[in-house]
């Protein structure tokens, strides 16, 4: 049995009485422009918040208001770009470490590009001007930036170019051509496939132009253009294992472009003799000497040439012989080492178990060996059971506790995948991590609701999950699951759904710097000297979906809850979600001719 909090009941009664006299609560509130007015009020009130959230608020509001008040929306976009540039001037490219002291850093988004991306949907020409300004500014700063940061703006440009290839090919082409004015970058490798997935003809055109522009590049960078025409997942050469991407479905090789690449690459390979010192010095991008890259690439290309381009066989053999002649004894040892590493067969699970048993018997078993056993494998239920005895042998108490939490988490997720519903809660209950347990049960509810045979049990599972979550300490995961519960309960009982929403907002206000748009829960296993991380999606949608779902029969009450957020950004996100429901309701009410 679900009970409503006193604060929720008071608020619900007060607003519901006012709304009760309205024949169509959704349409009435929307006609009064309450959501749009609320958005503008929140933006004006958010001028003192941190730059990252300020920019996010401005972009979200500008995008929504564009069709209603373009002048105001443009002013928000302009303010966002000014704020972003000022923040970058003061902080440069930013990184954070999710787990303090583990040496792992995650790059934060560039607010300037966040703005340019948002503007691109509304005014591509204006977005292009922003990008040109960013690239010019970063070129002036190049000497002050490390190699990774130096290329980040170019990476962002290529990403945006690829993403717009289908929706706005003219804009995409302009961005690709702007990127061609910069040094060849590994981001081309992925951006071309991204573009081809949306517009193959455009991607082929861009590739042909890029190959002409970069024909004189060193072999290392030039190889970033080697995968695309051959429809390969990896580039050619010794450093190919260090990069990977997703080839679009039904993407086929292009013999014309393949031939053009081979001709360009063979020309560069033949020119190695012109600068023998450079040929055996490391390329800054790949980390390998040109001669080594050319030699290993030509070895991989040889069967392709023999099969599809026999007219190039003689040129390829001569280039390979020339590159081989430049390999010093040191380079050949390096080649042998890398080749052995690449050819090494990954051990099976059974072999790993045998290695652990042998290490245990000789006193050489380490925590790292145990954790590694189940960190990077998709294991069966039987294999997971074989791991359990080793976890008890972990030497560090904290690591052992976290490992068992992860272990029972894996077992319960496996039971969801195999629809062993009666096993899910039993296995999940064995983890002491309440957030993990709740996340698993939420996934179970979601999957049960999709299964006609299991749907009748979903409501009771929801109730048990709600009780579990309410008992957990306030946390980001708790808030996200509560929003998910509010969304799920809409299909069963709207009153309970609002109670969950009320609690979700309360918890959100208790957790500092909460990111409700991130729907994952993160955990780390840290044997000495290493960190293994895993993310688990708690819900299939962000918190704004709960506000949208609950607004379809009236927006006043959801709007009141949205205003209950202390965080201005969360307020705007939820108010925009409500306003989108208004848009849909108004569009549906317009008579069709």
Structural contact between residues 416 and 410, judged by C-beta atoms closer than 8 angstroms: no
State yes or no: pLDDT of 404 exceeds 70.
yes
Give the span between the Cα atoms of 450 and 456, in whole angstroms: 11
Instruction: Return the domain boundaries, the chain.
Output: 6-32+396-589, 104-343
Span 45-51, average pLDDT: 83
Tokens encoding 250: 């039904």
pLDDT band at 266 (very low <50, low <70, confident <90, very high): very high
pLDDT band at 97 (very low <50, low <70, confident <90, very high): low
Give residue 21's pLDDT.
Answer: 37
Alpha carbon of residue 386 to chain centroid: 33
Q: Where are the alpha helices (DSSP H) in 285-380?
A: 290-308, 313-325, 329-343, 349-361, 367-373
Span 415-433, average pLDDT: 89
Give residue 146's pLDDT.
Answer: 61
Span 384-412, average pLDDT: 92
Structural contact between residues 576 and 544, judged by C-beta atoms closer than 8 angstroms: yes
Give residue 362's pLDDT.
Answer: 92
Give residue 16's pLDDT.
Answer: 39
Give the span between the Cα atoms of 477 and 435, in whole angstroms: 6
Structural contact between residues 338 and 238, judged by C-beta atoms closer than 8 angstroms: yes
Angle at which helix 70-91 crosses helix 124-141, to 10 degrees, equals 10
Q: What is the pLDDT of residues 507-560, one digit of tens each?
A: 999 998 888 888 888 888 888 877 777 788 877 778 999 999 999 888 888 989
- Taken in order 397, 400, 406, 407, the sign of the CA dihedral is negative
- Look at residues 218, 242, 226 and name the one whose alpha carbon lies nearest to residue 291: 218
Give the span between the Cα atoms of 335 and 84, in whole angstroms: 46
Q: What is the pLDDT of residues 200-218, one digit of tens each?
A: 999 999 999 999 999 999 8
Q: What is the pLDDT of residues 58-84, one digit of tens each?
A: 999 999 999 888 999 999 999 999 999
Angle at which helix 381-391 crosses helix 349-361, to 10 degrees, equals 20
State yes or no: pLDDT of 129 exceeds 90.
yes
Q: Any residues with CB less than 8 A from the CB of 260 and at least 6 apart, and which?
A: 208, 211, 229
Give residue 376's pLDDT.
Answer: 56
Give the span between the Cα atoms of 61 and 577, in whole angstroms: 11
Long-range CB contacts (< 8 A, 24+ apart) of 336-339? 338/238
Give residue 19's pLDDT.
Answer: 38
Span 494-498, average pLDDT: 94
């Amino acid at each position: 049995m679900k009970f409503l909090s006193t604060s929720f009941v008071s608020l619900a009664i007060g607003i519901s009485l006012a709304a009760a006299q309205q024949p169509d609560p959704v349409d009435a509130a929307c006609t009064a422009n309450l959501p749009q007015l609320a958005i503008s009020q929140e933006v004006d009130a958010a001028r003192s918040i941190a730059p990252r959230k300020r920019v996010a608020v401005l972009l979200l509001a500008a995008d929504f208001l564009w069709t209603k008040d373009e002048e105001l929306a443009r002013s928000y976009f302009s303010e966002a770009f000014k704020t972003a540039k000022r923040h970058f001037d003061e902080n440069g490219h930013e990184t954070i470490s999710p787990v303090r002291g583990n040496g792992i850093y995650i790059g934060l988004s560039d607010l300037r590009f966040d703005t340019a991306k948002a503007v691109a949907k509304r005014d591509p020409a204006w977005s292009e001007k922003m990008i040109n300004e960013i690239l010019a500014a970063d070129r002036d700063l190049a000497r002050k930036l490390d190699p990774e940061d130096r290329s980040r703006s170019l990476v962002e440009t290529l990403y945006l170019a690829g993403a717009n290839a289908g929706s706005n090919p003219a804009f995409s082409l302009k961005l690709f051509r702007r990127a061609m004015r910069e040094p060849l970058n590994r981001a081309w490798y992925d951006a071309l496939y991204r573009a081809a997935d949306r517009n193959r003809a455009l991607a082929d055109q861009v590739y042909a132009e890029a190959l002409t522009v970069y024909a004189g590049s060193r072999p290392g960078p030039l190889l970033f253009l080697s995968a695309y025409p051959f429809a390969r997942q990896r580039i050619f050469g010794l450093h190919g294992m260090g990069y990977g991407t997703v080839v679009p479905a039904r993407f086929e090789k292009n013999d014309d472009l393949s031939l053009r690449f081979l001709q360009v690459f063979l020309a560069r390979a033949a020119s190695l003799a012109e600068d023998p010192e450079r040929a055996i010095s490391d390329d800054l991008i790949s980390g390998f000497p040109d001669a080594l890259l050319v030699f290993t690439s030509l070895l991989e290309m040889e069967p392709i040439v023999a099969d599809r381009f026999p007219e190039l066989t003689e040129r390829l053999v001569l280039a390979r012989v020339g590159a081989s002649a430049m390999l010093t004894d040191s380079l050949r040892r390096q080649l042998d080492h890398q080749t052995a590493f690449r050819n090494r067969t990954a051990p099976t699970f059974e072999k790993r178990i045998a290695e652990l048993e042998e290490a245990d018997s000789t006193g050489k078993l380490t925590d790292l060996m145990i954790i590694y056993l189940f960190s990077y494998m998709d294991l069966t239920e039987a294999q997971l059971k074989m791991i359990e005895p080793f976890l008890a042998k972990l030497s560090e108490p904290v690591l052992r506790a976290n490992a068992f939490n992860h272990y029972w988490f894996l077992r319960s997720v496996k039971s969801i995948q195999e629809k062993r519903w009666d096993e899910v809660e039993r296995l999940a209950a064995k983890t002491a991590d309440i957030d993990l347990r709740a996340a698993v049960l939420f996934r179970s509810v979601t999957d049960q609701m999709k299964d006609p045979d299991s749907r009748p049990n979903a409501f009771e599972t929801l109730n048990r999950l709600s009780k579990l979550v309410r008992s957990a300490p306030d946390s980001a995961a708790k808030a996200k699951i509560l929003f998910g519960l509010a969304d799920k309960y809409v299909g069963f009982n709207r009153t309970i759904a609002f109670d969950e929403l009320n609690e979700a907002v309360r918890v959100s206000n208790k957790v500092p710097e909460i990111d409700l748009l991130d729907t994952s829960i993160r955990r780390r296993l840290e044997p000495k000297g290493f960190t293994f991380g895993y993310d688990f999606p708690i819900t299939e949608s962000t918190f704004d979906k709960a506000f949208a779902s609950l607004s379809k029969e009236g927006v006043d009450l959801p709007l009141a809850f949205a205003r209950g957020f202390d965080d201005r950004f969360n307020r705007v996100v939820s108010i925009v979600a409500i306003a989108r429901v208004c848009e849909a309701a108004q569009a549906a009410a317009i008579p069709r001719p």
